[in-house]
Amino acid sequence: MDVTQALQLLMLGIALGGIYALIALGYSMVYGVLRLINFAHGDLIMVGAFLGYFVAKAPIAEGLPLPLRFALVFASAMLGCAMLGVLIERCAYRPIRHQPRLTALITAIGVSLFLEYGGQIVFGATPRQDLPLWLTEQNPLMQIFAVQITDKHLLVLGGTFTLLALMRFLVLNTLFGKAMRAIAQDMTAAYLVGINVNRVIALTFALGSSLAAASGVMLAMSYPKIDPLMGLMPGIKAFVAAVLGGIGDLPGAVLGGFVLGLAETVVGYFASGLRDAVAFTILILILLLKPTGLLGKGMVEKV
């Protein structure tokens, strides 16, 4: 393998990592507030991808200039998933908010199964490959040291970092973000200072779900095939990325996403069969060596 190939591989890894990072960001938002592993997050990716697909194929979108079409696809997928996320929270998660974590986890698995099998009925089980080819032609925009950087790469990276910056600002600097952190810390006390807890949580779900939708559309553009089960593995892997970076820590989630994307691409290059084991091996290593994650801060258990 020469230097060019290596760099090309690196670029591939970063592109994949960017998508993981985006999914992990959404995961972390929800986990940060509710301490809930939202298994359905992965399936929201799938729903987002399908929504984007249908909008892109709709006659209205066909007539628009490309940037507008683009914006329309992303906006509608994100809005649709935001609404679905709020609905899921309202119907499935809110009633069990004060139940043990295990109950919440099982419910999340139930929601995930529901979306997957429901998706098979609504969208059909056979994968769709006739995606509008806007970005998949890999047309290189520029070339740095013989590494081709395509518009897809730019979109994924630009989108990921813009959204990270936005979310970080929201969580750290706005009153809404303070309310989110307050709820994560002590929900009862949050009620007592007058925070409308239900609304903040619903909005958090809306945000997390729209991030899932955005990553779903990007995933669909990068790997031009979508099907109702497509979200399961990226979802679980993004959770691994979030744990790797330090769950609940937003820059950590993004870092974890990139590390995972790179590791998977590199291992996949040398031994494609082992690709799917990479994420879990990393997960187990990190849990054993540094359970708080790369950027997470340790918390002392109260006795």
Partner 1 sequence: MLLWTVTTMLLRVESVDVFYGVIQALHGVTLEVDKGEIVTLIGANGAGKTTTLWTISGLLRPTRGRILFDGRDITHLPPHERVALGIAQVPEGRRVFLNLTVMENLQLGAYLRKDRDGIQRDLDWVFRIFPRLAERKDQLAGTLSGGEQQMLAIGRALLAAPKLLLMDEPSLGLSPVLVQEIFRVIRTIRERGVTILLVEQNAHMALRVADRGYVLETGRIVLSGQASELLANEAVRKAYLGE
Partner 2 sequence: MTTGRSAFATVLLLALRYSLLAAVFAFLWLLDRAFAAQLDPYAFYLLRLIGINLILAVSLNLIMGFTGQFSLGHAGFMAVGAYAAAATSKWLVAHSPALAHSPVLQSLVFLGVTVLGGLAAALAGLVVGLPTLRLRGDYLAIATLGFGEIIRVTFVNLEAVGGARGLTDIPPLGVTPLTSHFLWIALWAAVTLWVIYRIVRCTRGIAFQAIREDELAAGCVGINTTYYKVLAFVLGAFFAGVAGALFAHDPDQRYINPDTFKFMKSIEAVVMVIVGGMGSLTGSVMAASVLTVLPETLRSIGEYRMVLYALLLIALMLTRPQGLLGGWELSWRRREEISPDDLEQPLQPHRPTGEPLLCLRDCTMQFGGLVAVRDFRLALRDGELVGLIGPNGAGKTTVFNLVTGIYTPTAGEILLDSRRLDGQPPHLIARWGVARTFQNIRLFKELSVLDNVRAAFVHRAGYSFWAAVLALPHQQKREREIERKCLALLKLFGLHERRHEKAKNLPYGDQRRLEIVRALALAPKVLLLDEPTAGMNPAETQAIMLLIKRLNDEWGLTILLIEHDMRVVMGICRRVVVMDFGEIIAEGSPEQIRTDPKVIAAYLGELTGVETTADE
Q: For partner 2, which residue of 15, 30, 33, 37 counts as binding (CB under 8 A)?
A: 37
Binding site for partner 1 (CB under 8 A): 175, 178-179, 181-182, 185-186, 188-198
Between 214 and 263, CB nearer to partner 2: 263
| Per-residue mark of binding to partner 2, 97-116 (x: CB under 8 A) | --xxxxx-xxx-xxx-xx--
Between 139 and 196, CB nearer to partner 1: 196
| Alpha carbon 11 to chain centroid, angstroms | 20
CA distances from 297 to 169, 178, 205, 226, 244 (A): 19, 18, 24, 37, 12
**Nearest distance, CB of residue 166 and partner 2, angstroms:** 27
Q: Which region, judged by CB under 8 A, interacts with partner 2, from 60-68, 89-97, 184-192, 205-213?
A: 89-97
Between 25 and 179, CB nearer to partner 1: 179
Q: Pick one of partner 2, partner 1, none as the site partner of residue 298 (Cβ within 5 to 8 A by kind).
A: partner 2
For every residue of the chain, DSSP letters joined together read --HHHHHHHHHHHHHHHHHHHHHHHHHHHHHHHH----TTHHHHHHHHHHHHHHHHHSHHHHTS-HHHHHHHHHHHHHHHHHHHHHHHIIIIIGGGTTS-HHHHHHHHHHHHHHHHHHHHHHH-SSPB-----SSTT--EEEEETTEEEEHHHHHHHHHHHHHHHHHHHHHHHSHHHHHHHHHHH-HHHHHHTT--HHHHHHHHHHHHHHHHHHHHHHHHHHS--B-TTTTHHHHHHHHHHHHHH-TT-HHHHHHHHHHHHHHHHHHHHH-GGGHHHHHHHHHHHHHHH-TT-SSPPP-PPP-
| Per-residue mark of binding to partner 2, 263-302 (x: CB under 8 A) | ----------xx-xx-xxx-xx--xx--x------x-x--
**Nearest distance, CB of residue 197 and partner 1, angstroms:** 8
**Nearest distance, CB of residue 36 and partner 1, angstroms:** 18
CA distance 264 to 274: 9
- 239 binds partner 2 per the rule CB under 8 A: yes
| Per-residue mark of binding to partner 2, 173-212 (x: CB under 8 A) | ----------------------------------------
Q: For partner 2, which residue of 33, 131, 163, 240 counts as binding (CB under 8 A)?
A: 240
**Nearest distance, CB of residue 291 and partner 1, angstroms:** 18
CA distance 210 to 214: 6
**Nearest distance, CB of residue 256 and partner 2, angstroms:** 13
**Nearest distance, CB of residue 181 and partner 1, angstroms:** 6
Between 27 and 70, CB nearer to partner 2: 27
Q: Are 76 and 52 in contact (CB under 8 A)?
A: yes
Residues that bind partner 2 (CB under 8 A): 35, 37, 92, 95-96, 99-103, 105-107, 109-111, 113-114, 117-118, 120-121, 125, 232, 236, 239-240, 243, 273-274, 276-277, 279-281, 283-284, 287-288, 291, 298, 300, 303
